[in-house]
Structure 1
């Protein structure tokens, strides 16, 4: 023990822990009851309570914390100044023999005794230490039993299709499971309608930004935030729960046939989910850096060399104050001979092309034509499982024969899906081009896509000296004929009945 005269009472620190704290009246192991038991013991022994340290909502068997719990760290700091660490029950301190033994040795270095009220153990004696280790072993076994029961409960819930708990997916609500035991999911009509509205915008060729505006206008709000963001809406639209799928350890649960199991009513069809996945697929970082910076980037060509005009600037200010942003022919820089390179004021030509587009084609309908080859959603799932199996085969102890057999079946299925008959469908979105243009306000990429889909020719000729403003004769515009192409590309979207990349 720490040095203390017989006239002075022993100094004690009380340690209290509760894994799941729901209030003082929650159970007989509530923090208040633990404190009272320890304080009564100290009073009977004539010990002075120096401090009461608590770890609430902290598991004793948590592998990430164990003896590094915040409260237990504080107890270790107090060891040089106390004589006794007292707790209501042994498993409040440690849930396994190893942790108990480690802490007991730490306390012994400071000549501090460990006292458990419930077991009436004085751990300064060999007999007390022996019994404490036996009790700690039982605590370890109990913790392992609880973990096993939890895992079995989760597996049972999955087998029966019950909701395992946690945050309920947007678009659903929990109800009593059809078996009469546990909870299940059913569609929440209002939220599901918002999800479908957002999906329809994207499936009709609209941007995710436009989908965000639509559901905000409908009054939709997410579960854990004040308003939707682009990222949170993307997560919902690409989430497996919309197809009735459940995940475990980050992986979609599959049946014996390798197909995802449908546990509750889906909000979207597999075909819709497949198209959403294609439309919202994130581009590689390098490709994102090459996105168009202006409305007409890549759409204007030089009349002399027929090369694409690039965004540049002119004026004494360079790209800073006083400069004028222009579309410029860089034929020589690109290694292309140009006898009469041209350039044009970016703001003026953009305003002219936009006005002409709305005047000439604004009343035309937005039409989307989708070409799909087989079940794209299943194909994506098969590709993902092939990648997972490739990693699994390299792991130590892997059953290479079984994994190789499964891999062969998946490769055969992938080949069959890739060679499946192509189907083409045409969908009228109900919007006109002018309505789509207005909806894309602030979204340069979306508006540029509308122009790219409908602009056949936009050649910029050399300007004439002395002409102020934009000479419209320099930029003759030819719009695409309003007819569907005979052979659209895979996943092509047609805006205003002309082809654009989805």
Structure 2
């Protein structure tokens, strides 16, 4: 100690902390009770209490502010004016050894002693510091135990008692009180469910995700975690598990005794509707390699890719046979949309360009004139048991993971695996090839054209072509399209229309 400190009473600051402040009525850890014990100790030592610093409703655990608590931070800033810091109990100061040692070292460098009243510890001595570290370790273990009990309690509420453990419900649902009167549950939100069912109907009828998302935005609907609907946000909802009334915990579906996903809430879609949506919206990477379903999905993914313009990817240059690309190019002081040969440099002996609006308007006019009154058929490649196969495979994988847990119920899990494998064998015995289903949508090509976006209209045109259209060089003259510049391989020109009308009307 410095000489000046030895000739005057020691200046003490009392520190009080309470994680949950219930008022002064709490006889054990209330601020008044803590202060009284600390003042009594200071009086017995002849110390002057110069201040009482409080952190109320402030946690001392790792998830709290730790040493950055407002009150404790103020003490650290005034170490130079203090001789001793008194607290009622060690865990009032720190909940883990690391924080305790850090604070104690700061105090020591400023020649400030720490005193814990409940443990009668004077940390100015080596023995006191040793015992304090042991007690701090126990406080850290107690905090971890409390956190683990809280965590297990939440898990039990979600996995065993059927409560909803989230703060934001999935789209199409709202949070309500659980029937037991404790915790939360989910119920269908009629307005949101109607929106998502309409979006699903549009997709099932052959519309694009982009168009369905635009429809939702126009109705004023908003997703729960974004300002507007986009195609990726909508896809996540349509192919998700929540619309089937299923719940995930820690990224895994909650399973029943049979190993299959439990249905906790009323589903928005039937399993068959969900299967159809997942088949249509499947990304190739979602499916097993070398499977027929993946080959179909890769083809559909390519043809459904959103185009920049109506005929992007459908035109080729007569000079070299390479695809033509769409772009905006300057012409007489204005920017004009054009399709140009994609060959670079001198690789094309006679590169072709054509005004985008002229060729698009012409193709659209011919298409609607010839195919406008044709019915729209959809050819869907599906495996009617694909959804259940995926459920069973996922359940087997998750049950196998559960077997590795130290506290696993081996007998129950083995019984579940046996049931799941039997069901998988039953499904494997069924035909593996996807079933091709032709569906009459009840809509005419012209009506579908009116409600589609650019990508959807491009798919309609593509569906009635046998190959790409070839563009020939034009002649100088009026700004109109010479039909002779285009070779369009329409399906109906070389085939029996009556025999192939469904294929001619197919939408990829």
What's the TM-score once normalised by structure 2's chain length? 0.71
Distance 1:438 1:324, change over 3 A: closer
CA deviation after TM superposition for structure 1 residue 27, in Å: 8.8
Distance 1:90 1:282, change over 3 A: farther
The match for 1:47 is: 49
Q: Which moved more, 1:238-247 or 1:100-109?
A: 100-109
Q: Report SS of the residue matched to 2:339.
A: strand
CA deviation after TM superposition for structure 1 residue 415, in Å: 7.9
1:88 and 1:117 in contact (8 A); partners too: yes
- Does residue 245 (structure 1) correspond to residue 209 (structure 2)? The answer is no
The match for 2:310 is: 295
2:17 and 2:56 in contact (8 A); partners too: yes
2:205 and 2:441 in contact (8 A); partners too: yes
The match for 1:112 is: 112
CA deviation after TM superposition for structure 1 residue 303, in Å: 5.8
The match for 1:309 is: 323
Matches within 5 A, 1:322-341: 325-328=338-341, 330=343
The match for 2:165 is: 164
Task: After superposition, give the CA deviation of every residue in 1:340-369 in whole Å (9 maximum; x if it has no partner).
Answer: 765433332122223333444445554433
Distance 1:362 1:256, change over 3 A: same
Find the aligned partners of 1:418 and 1:297 in 2 and give their Cα distance. 41
Question: For this pair of structures, how many residues does the alignment match?
Answer: 472
Find the aligned partners of 2:386 and 2:231 in 1 and give their Cα distance. 24
CA deviation after TM superposition for structure 1 residue 471, in Å: 0.7
The match for 2:191 is: 190
Q: Which moved more, 1:385-394 or 1:175-184?
A: 385-394
CA deviation after TM superposition for structure 1 residue 243, in Å: 1.5
Find the aligned partners of 2:281 and 2:372 in 1 and give their Cα distance. 26
CA deviation after TM superposition for structure 1 residue 14, in Å: 4.2
- Does residue 474 (structure 1) correspond to residue 471 (structure 2)? The answer is no
Find the aligned partners of 2:503 and 2:195 in 1 and give their Cα distance. 24
The match for 2:290 is: none
Q: Report SS of the residue matched to 2:174.
A: strand
Find the aligned partners of 1:210 and 1:314 in 2 and give their Cα distance. 25
Task: After superposition, give the CA deviation of every residue in 1:81-132 in whole Å (9 maximum; x if it has no partner).
Answer: 6434455653333234565355434533433233456767554457765775
Matches within 5 A, 1:92-491: 92-97=92-97, 99-101=99-101, 103-116=103-116, 122-124=122-124, 132=132, 136=136, 139-157=139-157, 158-179=159-180, 181-223=182-224, 226-281=227-282, 292-301=307-316, 307=321, 309-311=323-325, 325-328=338-341, 330=343, 342-381=352-391, 409=421, 416=428, 419-420=431-432, 422-429=434-441, 432-441=444-453, 444-456=454-466, 459-460=469-470, 462-469=472-479, 470-475=481-486, 477=488, 479-480=490-491
Unaligned residue ranges in structure 2 (runs of 5+) = 286-297
Unaligned residue ranges in structure 1 (runs of 5+) = 487-493
The match for 1:490 is: none
The match for 1:489 is: none
Richer in helix (by share): 2
Distance 1:394 1:15, change over 3 A: same
Find the aligned partners of 2:86 and 2:442 in 1 and give their Cα distance. 74
Find the aligned partners of 1:200 and 1:340 in 2 and give their Cα distance. 47
CA deviation after TM superposition for structure 1 residue 463, in Å: 3.8
CA deviation after TM superposition for structure 1 residue 426, in Å: 4.5
Find the aligned partners of 2:81 and 2:422 in 1 and give their Cα distance. 66
Distance 1:434 1:59, change over 3 A: farther
CA deviation after TM superposition for structure 1 residue 421, in Å: 6.5
The match for 1:60 is: 61
Distance 1:430 1:111, change over 3 A: farther
Task: After superposition, give the CA deviation of every residue in 1:129-185 in whole Å (9 maximum; x if it has no partner).
Answer: 577556545534543442343343234321232223432222223344445654332
Distance 1:242 1:49, change over 3 A: same
CA deviation after TM superposition for structure 1 residue 301, in Å: 4.1
Find the aligned partners of 2:32 and 2:234 in 1 and give their Cα distance. 47
What's the TM-score once normalised by structure 1's chain length? 0.71
CA deviation after TM superposition for structure 1 residue 60, in Å: 0.5
CA deviation after TM superposition for structure 1 residue 211, in Å: 1.9
Distance 1:79 1:235, change over 3 A: farther
CA deviation after TM superposition for structure 1 residue 240, in Å: 1.9
1:298 and 1:308 in contact (8 A); partners too: no
Distance 1:110 1:418, change over 3 A: farther
CA deviation after TM superposition for structure 1 residue 260, in Å: 1.7
